């Protein structure tokens, strides 16, 4: 999908299936790629009206970083690693910039903790995330590992069109535990 001067790779593109390489946040070339990723996220949100994060592989960069915009200062996670997962899980309708006309029913951990480098190379941790952020980080780390949300669907009825959802949101919401994306552009209360 073409967004401004940037391409967001679409499902079927083999580059979405590559496992990304660790990177150094202080590398000048990486900083340019991180800025490009943040611009793509911002432009996608402006054009499509959704999108809280984007992983570098979604624009053809096979490196381990993710740009976030959660309604406050945008930031980048470099080399994120999940350090803890809750036993509790939940189902939700997941969306993705790489297949913007679809929603996929997936199961995610209710909470996670993640360690990462910030855009300046400083080690950070984000502990015991709320479900909204937990599912998002899990989704984006999947992208870094070449896994798409459609891979997590358990059956064909777990993949629906965004138009079908819009026509019957109450019906589809009743099929999942939670729909954290319902108010996705609202400000979040936890801080990275």
Instruction: Compute the distance between CA of residue 137 and CA of residue 155 in angstroms, rounded to an integer.
Output: 23
| Predicted confidence (pLDDT) per residue in 94-111, tens digit | 999 999 999 999 999 999
Instruction: Compute the distance between CA of residue 43 and CA of residue 9 in angstroms, rounded to an integer.
Output: 14
Mean pLDDT in residue range 15-36: 90
Which band of pLDDT confidence, cut at 50, 70 and 90, is reported for residue 179?
low
Class of domain 2-181: alpha beta
Instruction: Compute the distance between CA of residue 167 and CA of residue 90 in angstroms, rounded to an integer.
Output: 24
| Predicted confidence (pLDDT) per residue in 33-90, tens digit | 999 999 999 999 888 888 999 999 999 999 999 999 998 888 999 999 999 999 999 9
Name the maximum alpha-carbon separation found in the chain.
49
* Ranges of H-type helices in the chain: 28-48, 131-144, 162-167, 169-173
The count of other CB atoms within 10 Å of the CB of residue 59 is: 22
Give Cα 187 to chain centroid, integer Å: 16
Domain ranges of the chain: 2-181
Q: Do 58 and 98 form a contact (C-beta atoms < 8 A)? A: yes
Residue 180 pLDDT:
54
Instruction: Compute the distance between CA of residue 3 and CA of residue 41 in angstroms, rounded to an integer.
Output: 9
Catalytic annotation, residues? 140
Instruction: Compute the distance between CA of residue 63 and CA of residue 67 in angstroms, rounded to an integer.
Output: 12
């Amino acid at each position: 999908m073409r967004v401004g001067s940037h391409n967001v790779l679409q499902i079927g593109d083999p580059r979405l299936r590559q496992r990304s390489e660790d990177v150094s946040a202080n590398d000048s070339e990486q900083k340019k790629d991180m800025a490009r990723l943040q611009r793509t996220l911002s432009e996608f949100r402006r054009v499509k009206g959704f999108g809280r994060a984007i992983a570098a592989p979604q624009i053809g960069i096979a490196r381990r970083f993710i740009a976030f915009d959660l309604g406050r200062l945008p930031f980048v996670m470099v080399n994120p690693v999940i350090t803890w997962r809750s036993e509790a899980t939940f189902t939700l309708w997941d969306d993705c910039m790489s297949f913007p006309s679809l929603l996929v029913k997936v199961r995610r951990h209710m909470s996670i903790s993640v360690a990462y480098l910030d855009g300046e190379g400083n080690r950070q941790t984000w502990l015991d995330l709320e479900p909204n952020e937990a599912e998002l980080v899990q989704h984006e780390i999947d992208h870094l590992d070449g896994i798409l949300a459609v891979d997590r669907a358990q059956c064909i009825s777990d993949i629906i069109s965004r138009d079908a959802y819009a026509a019957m949101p109450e019906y589809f919401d009743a099929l999942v535990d939670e729909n954290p994306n319902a108010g996705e552009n609202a400000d979040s209360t936890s801080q990275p």
